[in-house]
Structure 1
Amino acid sequence: MAVKWIAPEYGGIEVLTLVEAEVPPPAAGQVTIDVRAAGVNPADYKHLAAARAAGRPLPLGIGYEVAGVVSALGPDTTIASGGGAVGDPVVAFRIQGGYASRVTVPAKDVFAKPGALDFPAAANLLLAGATAAEALHVTKVTRDDTVLVHGASGAVGVSVLQQARVIGATVVGTASEHNFDLLRRFGANPVAYGPGLTGRIRAAASRGVTAVVDTAGTDDALDSTVDLLADRSRAVTIVPSDRSRQAGITAIGGTLPASAAFRDAARARLVTLAAEGRLLVPVARTFPLDKAIEALELVRTGHPGGKVALIP
């Protein structure tokens, strides 16, 4: 038996219920994982909110990524990164129903856990990391670019900073001043939010801005992008709006098919970067699994100060 969170009816996080459930043994091509940590992401509560319109069957599971230990493998089954045995630490993404003490998931979505990350950090590696990788891919960033990252202290922003540093690009990041040390830690030149933003960015980007990744979705972020970037095809946002669409800025992430395909393809490389110590995941808080609603409320405020994980 395991415990897991489900939504037995359509609604927001208020409908979530913690239940006991049997976990099916793994069939061929499947892996059972004893969960040590589950990542908590905005996509989790957005999944609940969109379920009715999408016609998703009830009950709904919640949670896209976990880290844990293999407890069983299906016949003739190896994990995506090769090998895998009972007792091995792993990460899994994109799965369904990760807010649980045990899950059985497709082996193609399971990878060896990077030794450089503990379980809470590893459980938060791949959703934000794959979105960041997609942003840099779509904007065609190279070592010759100066990338402007709006909302650079958030989970996706921090991953963009690190992956851009691997590429060799110069990065300017917008954030609140109390997060400047975090941005500098990951190689970005920080710029404060507020009036006069465009002018401060222009001063910080001595060679000019050549690509933009917007994780904030504010009017100031959009205005500065339009003012500073000549080629709008080199701007992406994870918070699309009518204004951003009218400005010709590409939306990524969410349930877009192209985004899903890219994120799946990016997973192995992200695991390798983390294993090499070149991709870290700052974790702000952990909660017991039975406090999932509190964890989601914290993430929904938009200011957790780092990633959040559930611990069964």
Structure 2
Amino acid sequence: MFPDAEMFAVQFDRFGPPEVLMVGGFPEPHAGPGEVRVRVRAAGVAPVDLALRSGTSPSSGRLPLPHIPGVDAAGVIDEVGADVTGFATGDEVFGAVDVSRLGGAAAEFAVLAFWAAKPPSMSWEEAGAAGTSVETATRALDRLGVRVGTTLLVDGASGGVGSVAVQLAAARGARVIGTGRPENHAFIARLGAVPVSYGPGLAERVRALVAGGIDLALDIAGAGSLRELIAITGTPASVLTIADFTGPELGVGISLGELGGEPDGRHGLALAAALSEEGRFRVPVRAVFPMARAAEAHAAAARGPRQGKVVLAAPPADGGRD
């Protein structure tokens, strides 16, 4: 039984492998101005969570320990901060925490910095995994100027952000080519992209596949393909990376560390929700684990095939206090 001022939360008090994760009591957070607190129903497991937990992220050193991982969450609002309009307690929402906190979602309660109403068409698991993937993909597509008639190459099309970017680009009227391992090609095709294998010779394979060439390229994989993407599009100005810090050296635009950079991240989430209602968007979820098995979830998220997101499901209301 946790004290009244505490909630249950996934947490770690030292860096290391997934086994450092445990579930225990943690002080409850509260919504500040412009924020809402939700009773969490599901929380996504993102690559940043794995890097922070292992201690390999440059940001790991500034984490106060113990730390709750998780940046994406969906749940029911139970506390509304000052200056929040249009939402009330009892509303079902999905979104993400303030990125400066580097976590806090994998718990009984989480405070969201940006969010949108969860549509009935979106399961709790999908909604819990959607926040930063949708925001990141929307921001990248906006910066590239993807629109009707664009032919876009997404390098790394099957992961959490890639699978979302493919669908959002297709919804804008773009033709999308998506790279991935051969075993992921059927999955990429179901998302709405033409699949192609990544790796050496990508430029030749794409030229044989796409008459008229590629207008723009988005690097999500961070696998060292920027030079090939430049060759495919013809200019560094047509390439954007969200995963390769060497981009500026090659004249490639880089979009890293700007979570919430477009107005509170809410525009992209609301659009994704609307597309979900129309049956034109889904958040691929490849595995769901209860929060008590967070270590297994982190281990699964680190393994392939990366076809969508791994999600942590919260126990029923008050179930974590027994």
User: Same fold judged by TM-score > 0.5?
Assistant: yes
Aligned to 2:261: 261
The aligned residue for residue 104 of structure 2 is 97
> Are 1:18 and 2:23 an aligned pair?
yes
Identical residues among aligned pairs (%): 31
Contact 2:155 2:218 survives alignment (8 Å): yes
Letter in 1 for 2:198: Y
SS of aligned partner of 1:60: coil
Q: Is the 8 A contact 1:140 1:234 kept in 2?
A: no
Structure 2: segments with no counterpart, 5+ residues: 1-5, 315-322
Q: 3-state DSSP class of the match of 2:137?
A: helix
Which residue of the other structure, out of 296, 303, 306, is the alignment partner of 2:305? Answer: 303
1:251 aligns with 2:250: no
- Tell whether the 8 Å contact from 1:142 to 1:169 is kept in structure 2 after alignment: yes
CA distance in 1, matches of 2:300, 2:11: 19
What's the Cα RMSD here? 2.6
User: How much has 1:53 moved relative to structure 2?
Assistant: 6.1
- CA gap of 1:30–1:156, structure 2 versus 1, over 3 A, is closer
- The equivalent residue for 1:185 is 190
* Paired position in structure 1 for 2:286: 284
CA distance in 1, matches of 2:285, 2:60: 33
Find the partner of 2:88 among 66, 84, 89.
Answer: 84
Give secondary structure in 2 for the equivalent of 1:274: helix
Residue in structure 2 matching 1:230, options 226, 230, 234: 234
Preserved CA contact (<8 Å) 2:80 2:89:
no
Q: Aligned partners of 2:242, 2:30: CA distance in 1, in Å? A: 37
- Tell me the amino acid that sits aligned with residue 289 of structure 2: F
Match of 2:130 in 1: 125
Amino acid at match of 1:264: D
Distance 2:229 2:60 in 1: 32
User: Residues 156 and 28 (structure 1 numbering): CA distance in 2 closer, same or farther, change over 3 Å?
Assistant: closer
- Give the corresponding residue for 1:73: 79
Q: Is the 8 A contact 2:23 2:291 kept in 1?
A: no
2 CA distance for matches of 1:193 and 1:234?
19
- Measured at CA, do residues 173 and 25 of structure 1 come closer, stay the same or move farther in structure 2, by a change above 3 Å? closer
Partner residue in 2 for 1:36: 41
The equivalent residue for 2:67 is 60
- CA shift, 1:223, in A, is 3.8
Report what 1:196 is aligned to: 201
Tell which deviates more after alignment, 11-20 or 204-213.
11-20
C-alpha contact (below 8 Å) 1:134/1:263 kept by paired residues: no
Q: Alpha carbons of 1:277 and 1:145: their partners in 2 closer, same or farther (altered >3 Å)?
A: same
User: What TM-score do the two structures reach when normalised by structure 1?
Assistant: 0.85
TM-score (norm: length of structure 2): 0.83
Counterparts of 1:171 and 1:35 in 2: how far apart (Å)?
Answer: 34
CA 1:159–1:133 in structure 2 vs 1: closer, same or farther (change >3 Å)? same
CA deviation string 1:124-158 (max 9, x = no partner): 11211111112211111221221111111122111
Corresponding position of 2:13:
8
Aligned match of 2:320: none
Gaps of 5+ in 1: none
